[in-house]
Chain A
Amino acid sequence: MSGTTTTQRMPSYLEYKGRFKGLAGWLLSTDHKRIALLYLYSQITFFLAGVVMGIFMKIELMAPGQQIMGPATYNALFTVHGLTMIFLFIIPGLAASFGNFFLPIMIGAKDVAFPKLNLFSWYLFMGGAIIVLIGIFTGDGPPDTGWTFYAPYSLKTNTNVVLTVFGAFVLGFSSVLTGLNFIVTIHQMRAPGMGFFRMPLFIWAMYGTSWIQLLATPVVGITFIMVIFDRVMGIGFFDPAKGGDPILFQHLFWIYSHPAVYIMILPAMGAITEIITTFSNRVVFGYKAIAMSSLAIAFVGYLVWGHHMFTSGMSDTARLVFSLLTFLVAIPSAIKVFNWSATMYKGSIDLQPPFWWAMAFLFVFMIGGLTGLVLGSVATDVHVHDTMFVVAHFHYIVFGGAGLAFFAALHYWFPKMWGKMYNKKVANIGLLILFIGFNTLYFPMFILGIMGMPRRYYDYLPEFATPNLISTVGSWILALGLIIVIVNLLRAKKAPPEIIDNPWNGRTLEWKIQSPPTLENFEEIPVIDHGPYDLIKE
């Protein structure tokens, strides 16, 4: 394949004039790249809304006693913060945005298998989001159950649970259809010569993710519907007064919601693999091990849900089984981390912003992962269950893991998506501030948890004051870093286009086409005759 820079440049997917112009050209486009950007913009909007809510919560927790809001408002706020961040930002996460954009390109296809279904999924996503929003602002106020909707409280509270839960159901449907689309795309649309073991590892991660989306989401979907029927018709599936078992709700909820963590983190790990390989200028170490570990995480991750319920009244046998299975997940996760380290070993590392983001990811993800072991073991979990320790662990994994990887991917693929480069120095400064802020914000929560501060309270005893204050200051630093990062990217987006088809010396297929890609990605479908990361002189 020759470099595309010298050949004539085609109009990119951004400039392409289809049947519809302007906004309709976006809202009715079945081009996977435009749909990816629709997801990206909506997700980032929701993310920023969630950040603002988080900052208000931290202000409330700045000092003991009531600061800016009462307990009821605080309950609603942490529920809506959780709902927004989880269902609207990080579960679609890297899969819906970067997956949509790069999955077809990286396997040498012109689009996903079902382009119309893809657009429909986005509409379902927005529809679900709007239903959730309506649920928050109408009726008797936003739900105050926490994003977990635990029965029987979710059956008894007067707040607007029904609409919100229904919105979550619709969002789940969107997620299922996206997963379905990706699996068929991967099976049917790989370029000639690209066997399963010549796929980039991001695709392997997406494959595992899609299966989880497909197999786990229906379980929570029907559970949510049962909650609605319990509330509206008083059936009593989860109502102990009518014989229902609230712990069964927790089982069904976590059968989805634990794998959901892997829906968030697997594509993140995939993106990190791409970044580390590219900037180490080495063939990835242990390709098959990483590919298989993605599937292993998806599979084992499906069977460990009970570790969220160690104190809920499950049988001891179940607690031990779940604890054992939980520790098994550490194996494929560690395989990934070791292979990343081995890939960097003796590599000629190019210290570009995406690589720094990946390093930041590794650092916080390790802390998150290791503290996960504390929670996976029954004896220690009982001690820190429902304390701030869990909150800290969760944010280290989901924000520090999936969230940072989201930004790593954004910085990595930004030049490809818009054909422009951001200011690298500012990007690094923004990351540094964000990284400091992140650890200042969440690390004290580990200590608070060990000290015994419970989660989900708007007030606390005076002895918890200092770490809480540090944590609140951290949230401001984090917000500052975030602002720098985002403003930097927005400014780059406005800059005049340059020709940067392959700024990082990437070796996967997306770097062999022009930036931004054309409507059909490839002038002619490439024929693959080597592994995805082989170093080949062009």
Chain B
Amino acid sequence: MEHNATTLSTHEHYDPVGAKLGMWLFIFTEMLLFGALFIVYSVYRYRHPVEFHLANQELNVTIGFINTVILLISSATVAMSITAMQKGNKKLTMIFLLITLLLAVVFLINKYFEWGAKIHHGIYPGSEFLLSLSHGDILFFGLYFFMTGLHAIHIIVGMVILIWVFVRVKQGRVNINRYALLENGGLYWHLVDLIWIFLFPLFYLIH
């Protein structure tokens, strides 16, 4: 829209399928980003099965379970906000988006306490205590902090996107006729959920 002459093409041009395709392609890159980490995880777990098993006992299944449920609910609310938009209910759309954001905050608070407890016990990347443990422990906790940390960053990015979508909905620029942005925000949020679906059993449920 920088060019006057292109205004007519870019402004009138609205291609929801194209926008969604772009978002999906971006999601593919995110999948492979985490995909690479899952490869690292599986290789090191394959090489240190016993240590991974023992280190896993340190993690709190209850918090992990609660966070999983929180993310699943937030995924559902985002999906419902799209339904609300498709039915033309702007207010309900915004309420669902707010609930989603709220759940995201709760997730991060849980994460904060979970990490805090670990760090309090001297378990964090590069800590003296951790380095005194076995190789498998070092790798397990290294991966744990790195992968859940990266996931948390994605939660924050997702929240920023959803806030932006919220503002656009409020302004009416995202409306029943053009809501590709809302759909894309939703897609990104589901991706965050999707990754957690795998992180949860791989880190919390090795028995």
Contacts and interface: CB of A to CB of B under 8 A. Distances in A.
Contacts of A179: 25
A217 interface: yes
Interface string B130-154: 0100111011001101100010000
Contact of B29 (A20, A111, A176, A251): A176
A519 B125 CA distance: 53
Contact of A188 (B5, B18, B145): B18
Contacts of B157: none
B58 interface: no
Interface string B30-56: 101111110110011001100000000
A226 B5 contact: no
Interface stretch (B9-17, B64-72, B85-93, B197-205): B9-17
3 closest A-B pairs by beta carbon, nearest first, are A243-B135, A234-B126, A235-B142
Contact of A219 (B3, B17, B26, B32): B32
B138 A242 contact: yes
Interface in B96-149: 125-126, 131, 134-136, 138-139, 142-143, 145-146
A217 B38 CA distance: 16
Given A215-B32, A248-B43, A18 B2 contact: yes
B6 A184 contact: no
A114 interface: yes
Given A180-B22, A234-B125, 19 more contacts: A16-B5, A18-B5, A19-B2, A113-B15, A113-B22, A188-B17, A214-B28, A218-B29, A218-B36, A222-B37, A223-B36, A235-B125, A235-B146, A236-B139, A237-B40, A242-B131, A242-B142, A244-B44, A520-B5
Question: Interface on chain B toward A: helix, strand, loop, or mixed SS?
Answer: helix
Contact of B36 (A234, A255, A520): A255
Nearest to B134: A243
Contacts of B39: 251-252
Q: What is the interface residue range for chain B against chain A?
A: 35 or more
A187 interface: yes
A121 to B, nearest CB: 13
A243 to B, nearest CB: 3
A183 B21 contact: yes
Given A180-B22, A180-B26, A184-B18, A245 B44 contact: yes
A180 B30 CA distance: 13
B4 interface: yes
- Greatest chain A CB density within 10 A among B18, B33, B126, B142 is at B142
Contact of B9 (A114, A181, A216, A520): A520
A interface SS class: helix
A194 to B, nearest CB: 16
Nearest to B15: A188
B126 A233 contact: yes
A243 B3 contact: no
B142 A236 contact: yes
Contacts of B3: 16, 18-19, 29-31, 519
A214 B27 CA distance: 10
A533 B46 CA distance: 54
A408 B142 CA distance: 49
Given A30-B6, A222-B36, A243 B29 contact: no
A419 interface: no
Interface of A: 16, 18-20, 28-31, 110-111, 113-116, 176, 179-181, 183-184, 187-189, 214-219, 221-223, 226, 229, 233-237, 242-245, 248, 251-252, 255, 519-520
A179 B138 CA distance: 37
Contacts of A520: 5-6, 9
B25 A244 contact: no
A113 B180 CA distance: 15
A356 B4 CA distance: 42
Given A31-B3, A243-B136, A255-B36, A215 B28 contact: yes
Given A18-B3, A214-B25, A226-B146, A113 B40 contact: no
A395 to B, nearest CB: 29
Contact of A28 (B2, B33, B126, B131): B2
Contacts of A252: 36, 39-40
B6 A187 contact: no
Nearest to B48: A243
A520 B29 CA distance: 31
Contacts of A188: 15, 17-18, 21
Contacts of B48: 243
A251 B39 CA distance: 10
A242 B139 contact: yes
Nearest to A216: B32
Contact of B142 (A114, A222, A237): A237
B22 A519 contact: no
Given A188-B15, A243-B138, A214 B29 contact: yes
A252 B39 CA distance: 9
